[in-house]
Amino acid sequence: MNDADGIVAHIPPLRRYARALTGDTVAAEDLVQDTLERAWRRFGLWRRGSNLRAWLFTIMHNIFINQVKATQNRRNQAADGAEVKLPATPTQEERLDLRDLNKALRMLSAEQREVVLLIGLEQVSYDEAAKILGLPVGTVMSRLSRGREHLRLLMNRGSATAQLKVVK
Amino acid sequence: MTSPKVSVSELDMHAYVDGRLPEKRREEVETFLAANPQEQERVGVYLQQNNMLHALFDPVLAEPIPPQWRTPDQRWSWRLGPVAAAMAWIALGSALGWLLRGELTGSSGRNVDFARRAAIAHAVYSPEVRHPVEVTAEQEEHLVRWLSKRLGGDLKAPHLVDLGYELVGGRLLPGEKGPVAQFMYQDKNGQRLTLYIKTDTGAERETAFRFSQEGTVGVFYWIDRRLSYALSGEVGKEELLKVANGVYRKLNP
């Protein structure tokens, strides 16, 4: 397989991941575009024979997380020093059902969302997720555990059986 | 109630959800869950989350790729076609083979050739969207019979669904000394593996697994009961070994 085909083969999963991560078609397409531009430019730095998928997802992670930080900085400035609630806390009381998974995903922190999606949707191994995110595997596991539980509670909200509780 | 012998951690629970436990541990977790309905429900929800994520976002995979994404930019707009790529591979492979000749003598040198040929066949056919195989998995029986007949051996297309790979189909290819067969598999992300099989094994009847990295393509190859196998893919070495083990197991039940 030549180099171009190697990258091209990973475009559909990169795009799926970007869509799930951003929840927005336009933002996702921009994220893929930025990732590919950077990947093509730096392809000479990719070590042949190493994991191309992990390399591409790492690039996407770096771009995404920088965007998230930039947004948070802007919000913090706008709030003039006041503490800003990040989207980790759900604000609605209404019950979220299957159709609202997308909405629930937006309520996870970017860090939890990345882990839940890389592992649950992209099905990368725990080690590969750790490599992509530049974290120890233990941190990945605790984010996964909290992310899934958070998602579960969000989806259960309003139903009588589930009580919101802080997990671990 | 819970069996005192089984201790199941939060980590086990997630590894169970993600299908990453060895069989024995998986059974232990299942036993534990059967005795702990609350945990069982929680794990069930996590499994459902994964399914829902796929239901929600998998359609994105089928969207056509904008042409500008396929190439670096206009300055580098040339692209090797598959045939040219194969030629480049062969040239590179020959050069490598020649360089390594001093170290790899006799039959192992020939096996390296085999691994390289398998990698080239993988590189040429696995990116094919419309014609990855000659005969699709729908006609599996015909496919296996046809290839067995052409190769003069008793071929089998192992089922790898439990490892996450489905049979796409297969094709007949020219080998060094006669026809070879290629079975193609893919996982739900479209990641493809190919199993390359030839009947001519020379003097050897059985070998251990060997690994060869051919550019971006990893190859595990071995000889088993007078058939040579090479499993190629652009996945991690561990994943490839797992599937290679699976193939071997299915062929030696």
- How many domains does the structure of chain A reveal? 2
- The tally of domains found in chain B comes to 2
- Residues B232 and B193: beta-carbon distance below 8 Å: yes
Q: Is A47 on the interface with B (CB under 8 A)?
A: no
Q: What are phi and psi of A87, to 5 degrees?
A: -65, 5
Rounded to an integer, the average pLDDT of B232-252 is: 91
B217 neighbourhood in chain A, CB within 8 Å? 1
Identify whether B186 is part of a domain: yes
User: Chain B within 8 Å of A159 (Cβ-Cβ)?
Assistant: no
Q: Which residue has the higher pLDDT, B85 or B214?
A: B214
The residue range of the domain holding A167 is 88-168
Question: Could you tell me the two tokens for B152?
Answer: 């003069």
Q: How far is A86 from chain B (nearest CA, A)?
A: 23
Alpha carbons B232 and B212: distance in angstroms, whole number: 9
Q: Are residues A26 and A97 in the same domain?
A: no
CATH number for the domain harbouring residue A112 = 1.10.10.10
Say yes or no for a CB contact (<8 Å) between A4 and B45: no
Which positions in chain B touch A19 (Cβ < 8 Å)? 57, 60
Predicted TM-score (pTM) of the model is 0.52
Shared domain check, B47 and B147: no
Domain presence at residue B71 = no
Verify whether the Cβ–Cβ distance A5 to B20 is below 8 Å.
no
Q: Mark whether A50 and A99 lie in a shared domain.
A: no
Q: Quick one: B80 and B164 in the same domain?
A: yes
Contact of B73 with chain A, judged by CB distance below 8 Å, is answered with yes
Identify the domain boundary among A60, A84, A108: A84
Are residues B54 and B136 both part of a single domain? Answer: no
Same domain membership, residue A95 and residue A80:
no
Q: What percent of chain B has pLDDT over 90?
A: 43
- pLDDT tens digits, B151-196: 988 899 999 999 999 999 999 998 888 899 999 999 887 789 999 9
Are residue A2 and residue A77 in the same domain, yes or no? yes
pLDDT at A89: 38
Has residue B242 been placed in a domain?
yes
Min distance A142 CA to chain B CA atoms (Å): 9
What is the pLDDT, as a whole number, of residue B104?
41
Same domain, A52 and A77: yes
Question: Do you know the residue count of chain A?
Answer: 168
Contacts of B18 in chain A (CB under 8 A): 119-120, 123, 126
pLDDT digits (tens, 9 = 90+) for B102-115: 444 344 455 678 88
- Pairwise CB contact (< 8 Å): B50 & A126: no
Contacts of A120 in chain B (CB under 8 A): 18, 49-50, 53
> What pLDDT is recorded for position B206?
73
Quick one: B40 and B95 in the same domain? Answer: no
Based on its alpha-carbon atoms, the radius of gyration of chain A, rounded to whole angstroms, reads 17
Summarised one tens digit per residue, pLDDT across range A103-152 is 899 999 999 999 999 999 999 999 999 999 999 999 999 999 999 999 99
Q: Between chains, do A152 and B18 touch, taking CB under 8 Å as contact? A: no
Which residue among A62, A84, A106 closes a domain? A84
| Cross-chain residue pair B11–A141, CB shorter than 8 Å | yes
Which of A1, A21, A156 is best to mutate for the B interface (most B CBs within 10 A)?
Answer: A1
Domain residue limits at B56: 10-60
CATH number of the domain enclosing B123: 3.30.200.100
Best CA proximity match to A150, nearest among A168, A133, A132: A168
Any domain includes B68: no
- The answer to whether B248 touches B238, Cβ cutoff 8 Å, is no
Whether residues A113 and A141 fall in one domain: yes
Nearest to B163 by CA among B211, B195, B133: B195
CA distance readout (Å), A99 to A95, A96, A118, A155, B52: 11, 8, 21, 10, 9
- Which CATH number does the domain housing residue A60 bear? 1.10.1740.10
Q: Please identify, among A84, A110, A141, the residue that sits at the C-terminal boundary of a domain.
A: A84
- Residue that has been written with the tokens 């000749």 in this structure: B101
Instruction: For B136-163, write each residue's pLDDT tens digit.
Output: 888 899 999 999 999 988 899 999 999 9
- With CB atoms and an 8 Å threshold, state whether B57 touches A128: no
Mark whether B140 and B211 lie in a shared domain: yes
Residue B52 lies in a domain: yes
**Probe site for chain B from A16, A25, A100, A112 (most B CB atoms < 10 A):** A16
In whole numbers, what is the pLDDT of chain A averaged over residues?
79
pLDDT, tens digit, 9 for 90 and up, residues A79-99: 444 443 444 334 443 344 556
